[in-house]
Structure 1
Amino acid sequence: MQRKKIIKTAILFSLSVLSFQQINAQQDPQYTQYMYNPATINPAYAGSVDRVQIFGQYRTQWVGLEGAPKTTHLSVTTPLTDTGLGMGFHFKNDHLGVTDQNSLAIDLAYTVNLNYDYKLAFGLKGAGSLLDVNYDKLHIYDGTDPITEKNISNKFSANVGAGVYLYSDKAYVGLSVPMILSSNRYNDKEYKIMNEKAHFYLMGGYVFDLNHEIQFKPAALVKVVPGAPLQVDLTANVLFYEKFTLGAAYRWDAAVSGLAGFQVTDGLFVGYTYDADTSKLKNYHSGSHEIFMKFELSNKKKRKVAPRFF
């Protein structure tokens, strides 16, 4: 029992240190069901919506492991005019170990028609975040370490992002960098506590009509961060009778997932995901959970034929 507690403490410390040491790592939160709100990682998606979308998502990762990540994301995406302009608003709280970060972001996107089937959207993102680090929660071995002498409160940083999004009624491909600027965070003594790197995302998916009642959608997401391992997510969802969604996902060398969703009303869709870890860390937690709700306000000018997969 004592050995397990020591291991958990060591892991907590490692997770926290990753947040403020000068290293290259993946820092953006990850979502298994990203395809229902691509605006999270690609601002150009705001140009593809034809009605107001309200999206809420909560992810608790590595349940049972002290200090594990917990992420809350709320967003509103809306068309501005009938000429292809769209805008998105995002709030995100990301909690990891002794760090807590709140972010606000605004997307602005514009869509052009390429041909009868395909459209291309361009998007820009502006974001600002406040970082808190509470060193008092750590078991400090060396109390004289200047980095941990004083907690960090509301440390502000700003960033910009961009993306492109090619889509039709059946397919989409997106390329984005939600946060372009690499930035360093310092404490009051000018010690570097965090080195944020740009994250590059490439995503794509397609909807196959198997028959009148069943649709199949494979999707993929590739994330590239300088100095960090390549991350690849492969997902397959099946929609039954425009009501029930079941699926599975695989995150390369990290996790396998089960996905489920239900179209409660014409405008309300809810979903749940369970991730089972496949890495060595699986022995110290009971998996990850993700829930989300997507609400679309009706557009009287455009009749909604079927629920959107993306």
Structure 2
Amino acid sequence: MNYFNLKPVFLLFMLLTNIMLTAQSDPKLSAYFFTPLTYNPAFAGSYEGMSLSSAYSSQWVGFDGAPKTFFLSAHGTFFSAKTGLGLDLINDNIGATTETKTMLNFAYQVELNDQWSMSLGIKSGFSNYTIDYRLLNIENPGEYPGGPNTVTSINFNVGTGLYIYSKNYFLGLSAPNLLANKYIDSFNNTLANSSQNYFLTSGYVIELDDEIILKPTIMTRIVKGAPLSTLYAVNLDYKEKFYGSLNFDFDNSIGAFTGYRFMEKIMVGYSYDTSINKFSNYNGGIHSVFLNYRIADYWKRERCSCSTF
């Protein structure tokens, strides 16, 4: 297979993200950026070792019942250098509702030529959706038919994704929830619906010198019937010890991240995002903290140029 240049594709892709697409308003994209296994199973095994990451995000500080999200993901290479396995968990609490997703991930790497590789991934698992009626302020209690204080609905999820990457470029496409699930209670009332989410990601690694790496990236979430949500970020990596990032979502938010890795294994980080729309006057922004732990493994797959946390 002949070598091909993805730089024009990357530039074109950045333009195409501004066309009329639709997206869902889920947990803030910048939080997803540091736990990429949650949106693309092909990420499993992308680091040349084993990696465990967690993140906690408190959104829209100042709003009653504002979202609070906890992420946990672990992945590495198993059985061979081409095989990646991973586990990701998301606990998302908004007001009286709590959703917990537990997903297993599998990825397989294919070498396209001496320059390019492709990682193909699948994920499957379950989501548990709970609503606690005791936390609701019901204006007309007589209209509420009564029943249990909490209602739980469990659904099966399945997703897929891929990365095409070289030493300096990556381009990804994923759909972490292919099934459009409906959450219902014992009275057959619909509590919530989930839609298919599609993620487009791309980035380019710029080696300023042997110790400083600059990586501009974009991530777009697409869902039918909702406004487009695209996160643009510029990430700085100094000696794989100091990390910094600036991100913005046009007409929605702007944010920054800083992190430090010590003992070559542990990274701690903090990010803050603030609204730049009309909601900025009513909330205290989004605070997120991150923790990552790395260990070497036997197989040592070549690291992906994507965000390898």
TM-score interval, smaller chain: 0.7 to 0.9
In structure 2, what is the Cα distance between the partners aligned to 1:39 and 1:172?
15
Deviations 1:165-220 (CA, angstroms, capped at 9, x unpaired): 11233222110000001011111111111111010100111110112332211000
Change (3 A) 1:258 1:49: closer
Q: What is the DSSP-based 3-state SS (H/G/I as helix, E as strand, rest coil) of the residue aligned with 2:142?
A: coil
TM-aligned CA deviation for residue 42 of structure 1: 0.1
Supply the distance in 2 between the matched residues of 1:54 and 1:280 (Cα, whole angstroms): 37
Q: Which residue of 1 aligns with 2:89?
A: 91
1:264 paired residue among 248, 252, 262: 262
Q: 5+ residue gaps in structure 2?
A: 1-21
Q: 275-284 vs 224-233, which deviates more?
A: 275-284
SS of 2:37's equivalent in the other structure is helix
Partners of 1:303 and 1:105 lie apart in 2 by 22
CA shift for structure 1 position 97: 0.8
Report the equivalent of 1:165: 163
**What per-residue deviation string (whole Å, max 9, x for no partner) do you get for residues 21-77 of structure 1?**
xxx983642341534432110001114333111111111101121101000011110
Q: What do residues 223-266 of structure 1 show as CA deviations (whole Å, max 9, x unaligned)?
A: 11111101010000122343212221001221100111112121
Closer, same or farther: CA 28–107 of 1 in aligned 2, 3 Å: farther
Any residues of structure 2 matched to 1:1-310 within 5 Å, and which?
Answer: 26=24, 28-146=26-144, 150-299=148-297, 302=300, 309-310=307-308
The worse-fitting range, judged by mean Cα deviation, of 166-175 and 111-120 is 166-175
Distance in 2 (CA, whole Å) between partners of 1:207 and 1:265 is: 25
- Tell me how large the CA RMSD over aligned residues is: 2.4
TM-score (norm 1): 0.85
Query: Which stretch shows the higher mean deviation, 245-254 or 93-102?
Result: 245-254
- TM-score scaled by length of structure 2: 0.85
Q: Secondary structure at the match of 1:144?
A: helix
Q: Secondary structure at the match of 1:281?
A: helix
CA distance in 2, matches of 1:26, 1:147: 31
SS of the aligned residue for 1:32 comes to helix
Q: Deviations over 1:109-142 (max 9, x none)?
A: 1110011222101111102011111122222112
Amino acid at match of 2:39: I
> Whole-Å Cα distance in 2 between the matches of residues 86 and 189 of structure 1?
42
* Count of residue correspondences: 286
Q: Check conservation: 2:35, 2:54, Cα contact below 8 A.
A: no
Relative contact order: is structure 1 or structure 2 higher (C-alpha 8 Å, sep ≥ 6)?
A: 2
Give the CA deviation at 1:106.
0.3
Cα distance in 2 for partners of 1:75, 1:188 equals 33
Cα distance in 2 for partners of 1:152, 1:28 equals: 23
Which amino acid is 2:77 matched to?
A: P
Distance 1:251 1:129 in 2: 28
Identity %: 31
